[in-house]
């Protein structure tokens, strides 16, 4: 138990502070050792000592009125508004980009050739003259630039917002993410209201705002942190499943609602205004309505820990040249590698983690990144492939997307909670690291298996009905993503959940840039010879991921035989158990 407390508390210590404590303990007489057991290793640090602040945090939250206590049900309705706005703006935003690029393309053509004539390009109209390969290529390139700007910036910002959420609360950081999206939508509305005299390059400013806010990938990670704070570990996967269900519901219903508004009113601007309103309401609700999930005491302890680390004379200062090291980009991933031995230079981790725990964290993070990257990289590719193979139009493609997302919503809102209720096991919410239970592992393996079947079915589909059936099978794999995220939170102490999910947000941001590039490149190179090649590759990727899932062990803890051997060697060298724990 002491090792568990140390692992939870050592998140407050950097390598230099640990070494300083070792020297002080070695030089001190034996009788003060009892004092160390009764006081934190560092005053004001977020260390789990004999009287951890965990119970105080619970008492602090329990003093609130029942209706003001943190719960996922505060975030779900406002999150649905956010996703409805997000889903509703996808198609109008693409049409706006295509209109502006098409206008600029034909303007350049007319400037070079005075005899060249073309119909006016009007935003909100069909603009059949823009359906040429040159314009399509330019649109794809511009969207790639937008994704690169947003993805790279969000990769840099995501882990830092995760750290800040541990010190200043979840709702504030989620609101900052939403504020970046709101600023992006403001710029989009300005352009859409006067497209005839606005430059498309203004959208780059919106992409920068969105990226600096962390984009939706960071917001999703922070929302999961909020859910982890106010949900017991055994119910956490269901809570994450509800968040994912809201995501798919917004993506499914948003485009349909936007299409209905445009057809009814004949005005595209109203869709942008409603989307902006939904995002603004979500942002304001986090500032003024949604209760904070982290108690003030836990935030204060985290801030004190950070202050101690920053005032350390040996710590790297913000103005040091070392901060410019590109390797600092992956330093937040150090939480995914909790070491048993001494902290390394690149990843200054903590001691006490068993090999099984470290292996589970690495496997779960890798699988989660693969699943997210495939989802991001194939969302539009599946539609492009189906339209190419089966001559689908907007109606058929919209119906296909609606069916898949409807199955996912029912799966996450109905099937997943029922399975968790009847087969889940209750555990005490006592900040003890227990790892994934067997139900989590079974759901992860089944979900990945459904993904394999779905993508194999995509590649073998010779008829539209087979394509739809494959999509339905793959949609059952939607339970895997929330279960992977919740399982990761079960492998770290409560005060490090924000840091853990911030690291996964960094991985998601990187996957958001890399995965679409790779999959679209494969499709573009093989579509002329064998179009299903990309799905063969994706099925192979999920096959490897399934093999990785077989290596996950249930109910892992901090200490195992290897850690016992380390303590035994220390005792042979004349160190007592308490001295070894400080090491």
Domain count, the chain: 1
pLDDT of residue 231: 84
pLDDT of residue 152: 83
572-581 b/e with 16+ CB inside 10 Å = b? eeebeeebbb
Of 31-35, 85-89, 553-557, 561-565, give the lowest mean pLDDT range.
31-35
Asked, for residue 44, whether it belongs to a domain, the answer is no
Average pLDDT over residues 335-348: 45
Asked, for residue 18, whether it belongs to a domain, the answer is no
- The encoded tokens of residue 433 equal 């690291």
Nearest to 351 by CA among 580, 133, 163, 539: 580
Tell me the three state secondary structure of residue 531: coil
329 band by pLDDT with thresholds 50, 70 and 90:
low
pLDDT of residue 470: 93
Highest mean pLDDT among 176-190, 496-510, 514-528, 562-576: 176-190
Average model confidence (pLDDT) for the chain?
75
187 band by pLDDT with thresholds 50, 70 and 90:
very high
Residue 121 has pLDDT above 60, yes or no: yes
Yes or no: say if 350 and 338 are a contact pair by the CB < 8 Å rule. Answer: yes
pLDDT of residue 78: 92
Asked, for residue 197, whether it belongs to a domain, the answer is yes
- The more confidently predicted of residues 376 and 108 is 108
State the sign of the Cα–Cα–Cα–Cα dihedral 145, 147, 148, 150.
positive
Residue 200 has pLDDT above 50, yes or no: yes
Tell me the three state secondary structure of residue 506: helix
559 band by pLDDT with thresholds 50, 70 and 90:
low
Of 185-199, 322-336, 537-551, give the lowest mean pLDDT range.
322-336
Distance of CA 240 to the CA centre of its chain: 11
Of 223-232, 268-277, 333-342, give the lowest mean pLDDT range.
333-342
pLDDT of residue 564: 45
CATH of the domain at 536: 1.20.1250.20
Asked, for residue 33, whether it belongs to a domain, the answer is no
Cα of first residue to Cα of last residue in the chain, in angstroms, is 16
- The more confidently predicted of residues 563 and 140 is 140
Residue 189 has pLDDT above 70, yes or no: yes
User: Using CA atoms, how far apart are residues 276 and 278, in angstroms rounded to an integer?
Assistant: 6
Other Cβ atoms less than 10 A from the Cβ of 284: the count is: 15
Yes or no: say if 53 and 301 are a contact pair by the CB < 8 Å rule. Answer: yes
Contacts of residue 204, defined as CB under 8 A and 6 or more positions apart, other chains included, come to: 145, 146, 149
User: Using CA atoms, how far apart are residues 492 and 27, in angstroms rounded to an integer?
Assistant: 32
281 band by pLDDT with thresholds 50, 70 and 90:
very high
**CA angle at residue 481 from 475 to 484, to 5 degrees?**
145
Of 297-306, 312-321, 429-438, give the lowest mean pLDDT range.
312-321
Average pLDDT over residues 370-391: 81
pLDDT of residue 382: 83
Average pLDDT over residues 462-486: 90
DSSP one-letter string for 448-459: HHHHHHHHHHHH
The H-or-E segment that residue 292 falls in is none
Confirm whether pTM is higher than 0.85: no
pLDDT of residue 318: 44
Average pLDDT over residues 134-149: 79
pLDDT of residue 289: 92
pLDDT of residue 179: 94
Asked, for residue 559, whether it belongs to a domain, the answer is no
Nearest to 335 by CA among 489, 499, 555, 485: 499
Of 317-326, 380-389, 428-437, give the lowest mean pLDDT range.
317-326
User: Using CA atoms, how far apart are residues 150 and 509, in angstroms rounded to an integer?
Assistant: 9
User: Using CA atoms, how far apart are residues 300 and 60, in angstroms rounded to an integer?
Assistant: 13
Average pLDDT over residues 293-314: 78
Asked, for residue 4, whether it belongs to a domain, the answer is no
10 band by pLDDT with thresholds 50, 70 and 90:
very low
For residue 245, the enclosing domain spans 72-114+131-298+354-549
Asked, for residue 321, whether it belongs to a domain, the answer is no
Asked, for residue 291, whether it belongs to a domain, the answer is yes
């Amino acid at each position: 138990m002491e090792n568990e407390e140390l692992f939870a508390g050592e998140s407050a210590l950097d390598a230099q502070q640990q070494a300083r404590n070792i020297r002080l303990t070695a030089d001190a007489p034996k009788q003060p050792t009892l004092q160390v057991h009764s006081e934190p290793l560092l005053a004001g640090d977020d260390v789990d000592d004999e009287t951890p602040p965990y119970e105080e945090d619970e008492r602090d939250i329990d003093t609130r009125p029942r209706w003001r206590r943190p719960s996922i049900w505060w975030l779900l309705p406002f999150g649905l508004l956010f996703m409805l706005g997000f889903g509703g703006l996808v198609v109008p935003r693409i049409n706006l980009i295509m209109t502006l690029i098409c206008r600029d393309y034909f303007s350049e053509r007319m400037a070079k050739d005075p005899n060249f004539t073309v119909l006016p390009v009007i935003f909100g109209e069909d603009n059949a003259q823009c359906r040429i390969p040159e314009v399509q290529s330019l649109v794809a390139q511009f969207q790639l630039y937008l994704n690169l700007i947003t993805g790279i910036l969000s990769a840099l910002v995501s882990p830092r917002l995760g750290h800040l959420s541990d010190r200043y609360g979840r709702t504030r950081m989620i609101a900052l993410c939403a504020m970046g999206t709101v600023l992006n939508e403001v710029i989009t509305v300005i352009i859409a209201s006067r497209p005839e005299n606005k430059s498309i390059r203004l959208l780059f400013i919106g992409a920068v705002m969105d990226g600096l806010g962390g984009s939706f990938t960071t917001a999703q990670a922070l929302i999961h942190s909020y859910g982890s704070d106010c949900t017991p570990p055994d119910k956490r996967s269901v809570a994450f499943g509800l968040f994912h269900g809201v995501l798919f519901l917004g993506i499914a219903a948003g485009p349909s609602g936007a299409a209905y508004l445009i057809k009814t009113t004949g005005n595209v601007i109203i869709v942008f205004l409603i989307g902006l309103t939904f995002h603004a309401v979500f942002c304001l609700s986090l500032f003024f309505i949604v209760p904070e999930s982290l108690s003030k005491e836990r935030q204060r302890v985290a801030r004190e820990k950070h202050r101690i680390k920053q005032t350390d004379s040996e710590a790297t200062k913000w103005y040091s040249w070392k901060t410019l090291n590109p390797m600092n980009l992956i330093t937040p991933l150090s939480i995914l590698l909790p070491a048993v031995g001494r902290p390394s230079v690149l990843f200054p981790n903590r001691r006490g983690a068993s090999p099984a725990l470290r292996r589970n964290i690495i496997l779960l993070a890798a699988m989660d990144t693969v699943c997210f990257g495939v989802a991001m990289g194939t969302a539009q590719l599946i539609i492009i492939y189906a339209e190419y193979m089966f001559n689908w139009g907007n109606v058929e493609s919209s119906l296909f997307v609606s069916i898949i997302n409807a199955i996912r919503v029912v799966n996450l809102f109905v099937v997943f909670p029922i399975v968790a209720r009847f087969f889940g096991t209750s555990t005490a919410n006592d900040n003890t690291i227990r790892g994934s239970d067997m139900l989590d592992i079974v759901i992860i393996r089944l979900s990945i298996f459904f993904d394999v079947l779905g993508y194999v079915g995509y590649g073998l589909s010779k008829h539209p009905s087979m394509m739809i059936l494959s999509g339905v099978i793959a949609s059952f794999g939607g339970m895997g993503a929330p279960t992977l995220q919740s399982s990761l939170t079960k492998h770290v102490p409560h005060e490090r959940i924000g840091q853990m999910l911030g690291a996964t947000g960094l991985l998601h941001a990187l996957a958001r840039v890399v995965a679409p590039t790779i999959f679209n490149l494969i499709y573009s190179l093989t579509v002329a010879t064998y179009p299903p090649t990309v799905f063969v590759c994706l099925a192979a990727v999920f096959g490897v991921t399934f093999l990785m899932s077989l290596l996950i062990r249930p109910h892992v803890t901090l200490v195992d035989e290897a850690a016992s051997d380390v303590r035994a060697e220390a005792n042979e060298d004349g160190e007592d158990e308490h001295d070894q724990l400080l090491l």
